[in-house]
Structure 1
Amino acid sequence: MTHSSDLADKDALIAALIARNEVLVAEVTRLAARVAELEAKLGLPPKTPDNSSTPPSKGRKPSRAGASKAKAKPHAGSHRALHPNPTNKCDVFASSCRCCGADVSGASQFVCEAYDRIEIPEVAPDVTRVSLFGGVCPCCTTRFKAEPPAGLEPGSPFGPNLRAFVIYLRSVQGIPLARLRDAMSDLFGLDISEGALVNILAASTEPFSAAVAMIKDRLLAGTAIASDETGLRVGNANWWLWVFHHGDSAVFIADRHRSKAVVEGFLGEVRPDYWISDRYGGQMGWAKRDHQVCLAHLIRDVQYAIDAGDTVLAPAVKGLLKRACAIGRRRPDLTDGTLKTYEADLDRRLDRIMALQPTHPAGEKLHRIIKKTRRSLFVFIQNRQISATNNGSERALRPCAVYRKITNGFRSEWGAALYADIRSVVETARRRAVRAIDAIRLTLCGEPIQIPS
Structure 2
Amino acid sequence: MTYTPEQVMKISKGDAEIASFITMLLAHIEKLEARVNELERQLGSNSNNSSKPPSSDGLRKPKSLRQSGGKKGAPQGHNGHTFTMVDQPDEVIRHGVESCSHCSASLLEVAPESHIRRQVVDLPLPRLVVTEHQSETKRCPCCGTKQQASFPSGVAAPVQYGEGWKAWTAYLSVYHGLSLERIAQLFADMTGHRPSEATLLSQIDGTFSQLEPLEKVIRQKLEESELLHADETGLRIENGLQWLHTVTNAEWTYYDVHEKRGKEAFHATGLLPGYTGILVHDCWASYFSGDYRFEHALCGAHLLRECQGIIDYDGHQWATDLQALLREAWKQTKQARVDGIPVAPAMIADLELRYDEILARGTEEWTPPPEPEAPKKRGRKAKSKAANLAKRFLLHKPAVLRFLHDARVPFDNSQAERDIRMVKVKQKVSGAFRTTQGADQFARIRGFISTLRKQNRKVLDSLVLAARGDFFF
Distance 1:80 1:99, change over 3 A: farther
- TM alignment of 1:46-195, pairs within 5 A: 46-59=44-57, 61=60, 80-84=82-86, 86-92=89-95, 94=97, 96=99, 98=101, 105-106=110-111, 108-109=113-114, 111=116, 114-132=117-135, 134=137, 139-140=142-143, 142=145, 144-151=146-153, 153-155=155-157, 157-195=160-198
Q: Write out per-residue CA displacement over residues 379-425 of structure 1, whole angstroms, 9 at most, x where no aligned residue.
A: 12232222110011111011111001111122222211111111111
1:327 & 1:447 partners in 2: Cα distance?
A: 47
Higher relative contact order (CA 8 A, sep 6+): 2
Q: How many residues align?
A: 407
* Cα offset, 1:147, TM superposition: 2.0
Alignment partner of 2:37: what SS?
Answer: coil
Distance 1:447 1:125, change over 3 A: same
Matched with 1:385 is 408
Matched with 1:446 is 469
2:214 & 2:313 partners in 1: Cα distance?
A: 49
- TM alignment of 1:327-406, pairs within 5 A: 327-361=332-366, 363-406=386-429
- Under a length normalisation based on structure 2, what TM-score does the superposition of the two structures give? 0.77
Q: Write out per-residue CA displacement over residues 264-308 of structure 1, whole angstroms, 9 at most, x where no aligned residue.
A: 232265223211000011233476463110010001111111112
Letter in 1 for 2:155: E
Please say if residues 343 and 378 of structure 1, whose CA atoms lie closer than 8 Å, have aligned partners that are also in contact.
no
Residue 308 in 1 paired to residue 313 in 2?
yes
Matched with 1:241 is 244
Please say if residues 425 and 440 of structure 1, whose CA atoms lie closer than 8 Å, have aligned partners that are also in contact.
no
Distance 1:307 1:336, change over 3 A: same
1:82 & 1:426 partners in 2: Cα distance?
A: 28
1:188 & 1:135 partners in 2: Cα distance?
A: 37
Alignment partner of 1:336: what SS?
Answer: coil
1:52 & 1:383 partners in 2: Cα distance?
A: 27
Matched with 2:36 is 42
Unmatched segments (≥5 aa) in structure 2: 1-28, 75-79, 367-384
* Cα offset, 1:36, TM superposition: 9.4
Letter in 2 for 1:430: R
Alignment partner of 1:414: what SS?
Answer: helix
**Segment drifting more, 336-345 vs 118-127:** 336-345
Distance 1:377 1:103, change over 3 A: farther
Letter in 2 for 1:43: N
Q: Which runs of 4+ in 1 moved over 6 A?
A: 35-38, 69-75
Letter in 2 for 1:255: H
Please say if residues 380 and 387 of structure 1, whose CA atoms lie closer than 8 Å, have aligned partners that are also in contact.
yes
Q: State the identity as a percent.
A: 22
Matched with 2:24 is none
2:181 & 2:137 partners in 1: Cα distance?
A: 41
Q: Write out per-residue CA displacement over residues 219-251 of structure 1, whole angstroms, 9 at most, x where no aligned residue.
A: 101121110011112212211111101131110
Matched with 1:275 is 279
Distance 1:62 1:117, change over 3 A: closer
- Under a length normalisation based on structure 1, what TM-score does the superposition of the two structures give? 0.80
Please say if residues 312 and 356 of structure 1, whose CA atoms lie closer than 8 Å, have aligned partners that are also in contact.
no
Q: Write out per-residue CA displacement over residues 80-138 of structure 1, whole angstroms, 9 at most, x where no aligned residue.
A: 41354642233545455555656674463353xx4332333333222234454547666
Letter in 2 for 1:42: V
Letter in 1 for 2:467: L
* Cα offset, 1:315, TM superposition: 0.9
Matched with 1:8 is none
* Cα offset, 1:365, TM superposition: 4.0
Structure 1 vs Structure 2 CA RMSD: 3.2
2:302 & 2:424 partners in 1: Cα distance?
A: 18
Letter in 1 for 2:347: Y
2:324 & 2:69 partners in 1: Cα distance?
A: 35
Distance 1:176 1:365, change over 3 A: closer
Please say if residues 253 and 451 of structure 2, whose CA atoms lie closer than 8 Å, have aligned partners that are also in contact.
yes
Please say if residues 223 and 273 of structure 1, whose CA atoms lie closer than 8 Å, have aligned partners that are also in contact.
yes
Please say if residues 178 and 194 of structure 1, whose CA atoms lie closer than 8 Å, have aligned partners that are also in contact.
yes
Please say if residues 343 and 404 of structure 2, whose CA atoms lie closer than 8 Å, have aligned partners that are also in contact.
no
Unmatched segments (≥5 aa) in structure 1: 1-34
Letter in 2 for 1:150: P
